[in-house]
Structure 1
Amino acid sequence: MSAVAVVGAGPVGLTAALAAHSLGLDPVLLEAQPRTAVRPGSRAIFVHRATLDHLDRLSPGLRDSVCARGLVWRTKRTLWAGRQVHVRSYPASAAVPFTSLPQTVVEDLLRRACDAAGIRSVWGDPVRDVRSTPDGVALRTERGATHEVGHVVAADGARSGLRAQAGIALEGTTSTTEFVVVDVAADIRPDHAERVFHYRHPGVGGRNVLLVPFRGGWRVDVQCRPGDDGGRLVAQAPQWLPRVLPQVPGPRITWSSVYRFQQRLASRFTDGHRRILLAGEAAHLLPPFGARGMNSGISDAVAAARAVRAGSVERYARERRAAAEANVRAAGAALDHLLAARPGQRCLQWAAATAAPLWPRAGHWLDAAPYGPRIRAVSY
């Protein structure tokens, strides 16, 4: 009997398989989509240093491979209605704090690491039935294959079939405000790469705009106003993008999406028999602001493999849910700041923008608040 099955071959599932293999658990990786399936868009583009450290411990050299394919921006800038209120640059000699690249590239590197480790994988065969007992789990796939394992790491995403079959609810809220994401192709020199946040950008009707460079392009994230149709704003992107990205002549859109802030948690992170462990978006849904989703999911994956190895599944469920709750609270604080629905909030932000040229702490607050409070990374 294989010790553990991992369902879902996104970055979380691939990491879980690598982590299980590193602990001698002989994992099998099961993915519903064919290996050749194309995933559109850049998706999660920001890889935290803690995540890079996780990956390198599981597969030595993987951190360097990810960093070599990514982009590090060392300047962050914030503007209010076109006027700069904060800027900070970090020296090129400083340690790499993160890297920015399309999620698809991270997944490709993780797949190669799994292949090099000899991890068995099955692609294009969805899991259709899950039977969890006190002694283990039986998984049956669409093609009729059966996998009997001691534990399962469910990394099968926001619409997790394993979570549903285990009878675990996904609880929380979704914002009514929409956000628009547009990826624009561009070759960006590292010394020209800056993360820029605009409050009330004059080039897009006074909406808040976040610009994040990554290897291969720019991520443009626009906060819709009440009553906006996100799809219509995407359709109008060729008109407003040149005003938002004047440094990119004739901006070419490679992907776009409309999303809402998700702040949702599974009611519990394991099934009743402590045999199925939820990880990543199967366990929690978080907004892109703050780059919490994939990074926290990879921490879930590492912790899940270690919990299976150590027989500490209940502790995993308790500690990773607490971490997810902290991320949900941080996302809520970020959304509250971005919406600034109360007059007092708007006055405070305006006052900070006015004071920033003479009081740098006000500018620093305006720069940091859209992403929510920082949460200390936990090592496993």
Structure 2
Amino acid sequence: MRTTVGIIGGGPAGLLLARLLDRAGIDCVVLERRTREYVERRQRAGMLEQGTVHALREAGAAERLDAEGLVHQGIELRFDRERHHIDLPALTGGRTVTIYAQTEIVKDLVALQLADGPPLLFGAEVFAVERPESEAPVVRFLRQGREETLICDWVAGCDGFHGISRDAFPAGAGRSYAHEYPYSWLGVLAQVPPSCEELIYARGERGFALHSMRSPSVSRLYLQVPNGTDAGDWPDERIWDELDARFAIDADWTLNRGPITAKSVTVMRSHVHEPMRHGRLLLAGDAAHIVPPTGAKGLNLAVSDVRVLARALTDVCLSGDAQLLDSYSELCLKRVWQATRFSDDMTKMLHTQPNGDAFDHRMQLARLRRITASRHAAAELAANYAGLPLPL
């Protein structure tokens, strides 16, 4: 097989890149090692920055998003049994965020690509990227028990944190910066209407909790738990009781309870790989960077990367202009590091430190009090939460 751009990974980053390249008249092939059913069921992020919504509209992939997405005007911070509203539009000049599950974005993009887009091969497990420094990199993969080869002009590694693309960088060609947090998230999906109109970030002595949603009838909730936690050790009643305790405030508010349909534990980590390009191999999304989910930046960073990468590849393929492609890594990493900083700040401010003392507790409360008492501090949080300006 031969194509202009070989895309490794059929998640939102790879699928959106394929969509944008196809609309620009550039041929590409997407290789996804999982089945379509698996990809469309993966539970991931659900909060979209305004820039991400705009990018999906530009790609012609927002029909269902515009009809079903839940536009949020702010978030709520809870601590010391108090509630504090952060008004995003008032603090950012009108920007909002939208709740629309990543699983639904993937379904939308898969349907569009299978209907009239470039080849999307499920069950295609890439095991090697060869000669990325050459003018014709080679991607080798297994599909239906047979080894196949894809020869490309460019390779886009959109295969996530555990994919092969980042490992295809030769020794010494890149550097990774990583941090593991001393706690994890126990996440649940519940078939029950949300108990709130906007996301709740709760910090208390028992640990952090987050109340989100996927639709008007499905709630998404998280609890801070120790690393190594087994979701099976948390029966439904224990989860609801712990959520109730962590969201408790001195006001009239009730946590809706209902059937829990899924449980999972997420490890909290930050990881950034520099640079995001080696020769004709370019990384995008989780293949290049991971942030803790507290700031809701993972999917949004992936869309930001892809938007720049699609424009850069279009320039070089259609006109031979490599200026944007040559600055791709530097341009994206500026935004990546700011999102990593914000996610780290939010995480450390809201989570109980396993080895923390009374001083740490007071410092966290002081940071939260500063945000809720100062418009300047609240505006800084709101600007980062709603999304810093896109590179292009």
Residue of structure 2 equivalent to 1:26: 27
Residue of structure 2 equivalent to 1:197: 201
Q: AA paired with 1:171?
A: Y
| Aligned counterparts of 1:302 and 1:351: Cα–Cα separation in 2 | 38
Greater mean deviation of Cα atoms: 340-349 or 40-49: 340-349
From 178, 186, 194, the counterpart of 2:184: 178
- Residue 184 of structure 2 aligns to a residue whose secondary structure is strand
- Residue 179 of structure 1 aligns to a residue whose secondary structure is strand
Q: AA paired with 1:211?
A: H
Greater mean deviation of Cα atoms: 342-351 or 252-261: 342-351
From 274, 283, 292, the counterpart of 1:287: 292
| Deviations 1:241-294, CA, capped at 9 Å, x for gaps | 156364424x221222222321111132112x2x01000110001111111101
| Deviations 1:117-171, CA, capped at 9 Å, x for gaps | 4222211121222212431211121122221111011101111212212235543
From 362, 371, 380, the counterpart of 1:347: 362
Alpha carbons 1:170, 1:267 under 8 Å: kept: yes
Q: Post-superposition shift, 1:240? A: 3.9
From 157, 162, 168, the counterpart of 1:159: 162
Residue of structure 1 equivalent to 2:265: 258
Greater mean deviation of Cα atoms: 77-86 or 294-303: 77-86
| Aligned counterparts of 1:105 and 1:373: Cα–Cα separation in 2 | 22
Q: AA paired with 2:206?
A: G
Q: Post-superposition shift, 1:350? A: 4.0
Alpha carbons 2:276, 2:283 under 8 Å: kept: yes
Q: AA paired with 2:29?
A: V
Alignment of 1:263-278 (within 5 A): 263-271=270-278, 273=279, 275-278=280-283
Q: Aligned in 2, Cα 1:336/1:186: closer, same or farther, shift over 3 Å?
A: same
| Deviations 1:53-93, CA, capped at 9 Å, x for gaps | 1111122xx224213233234453332243334465979xx
Q: AA paired with 1:196?
A: I
Q: Post-superposition shift, 1:183? A: 1.9
- Residue 76 of structure 1 aligns to a residue whose secondary structure is strand
Alignment of 1:1-380 (within 5 A): 1-37=2-38, 40=41, 42-59=43-60, 62-74=61-73, 76-86=75-85, 88=87, 97-131=96-130, 132-142=132-142, 143-167=146-170, 168=174, 170-188=176-194, 193-200=197-204, 206-215=206-215, 216-224=217-225, 230-231=229-230, 235-242=234-241, 244=243, 246-249=254-257, 251-271=258-278, 273=279, 275-310=280-315, 311=322, 312-339=324-351, 341=356, 343-350=358-365, 361=373, 376-380=388-392
Alpha carbons 1:333, 1:373 under 8 Å: kept: no
Q: Aligned in 2, Cα 1:263/1:89: closer, same or farther, shift over 3 Å?
A: closer
- % same residue: 20
- Residue 108 of structure 1 aligns to a residue whose secondary structure is helix
Q: Aligned in 2, Cα 1:207/1:176: closer, same or farther, shift over 3 Å?
A: closer
**How many pairs were matched up?**
362
Q: Post-superposition shift, 1:235? A: 1.0
Q: Post-superposition shift, 1:17? A: 0.5
Q: AA paired with 1:33?
A: R
Q: Aligned in 2, Cα 1:346/1:373: closer, same or farther, shift over 3 Å?
A: farther
| Aligned counterparts of 1:320 and 1:219: Cα–Cα separation in 2 | 30
Q: Post-superposition shift, 1:188? A: 4.7
Alpha carbons 1:332, 1:372 under 8 Å: kept: no
Alpha carbons 2:76, 2:201 under 8 Å: kept: yes
Greater mean deviation of Cα atoms: 133-142 or 102-111: 133-142
Q: AA paired with 1:177?
A: Y
Q: Post-superposition shift, 1:314? A: 2.4
- Residue 230 of structure 2 aligns to a residue whose secondary structure is helix
Q: Post-superposition shift, 1:344? A: 4.7
Alpha carbons 1:31, 1:124 under 8 Å: kept: yes
Alpha carbons 1:3, 1:151 under 8 Å: kept: yes
Q: Aligned in 2, Cα 1:50/1:351: closer, same or farther, shift over 3 Å?
A: closer
Alpha carbons 2:158, 2:287 under 8 Å: kept: yes
Alpha carbons 2:33, 2:123 under 8 Å: kept: yes
Q: AA paired with 1:346?
A: H
The RMSD of aligned alpha carbons is: 3.3
| Aligned counterparts of 1:347 and 1:233: Cα–Cα separation in 2 | 34
Consecutive unaligned residues of structure 1, counting only runs of 5 or more, are none
Q: Post-superposition shift, 1:335? A: 2.5
| Deviations 1:315-362, CA, capped at 9 Å, x for gaps | 101111222122222222222312464755532444577x79xx9525
Q: Post-superposition shift, 1:239? A: 2.2
Greater mean deviation of Cα atoms: 138-147 or 295-304: 138-147
Q: Aligned in 2, Cα 1:293/1:36: closer, same or farther, shift over 3 Å?
A: same
Q: AA paired with 1:194?
A: E
Q: AA paired with 1:253?
A: I
- Residue 107 of structure 1 aligns to a residue whose secondary structure is helix
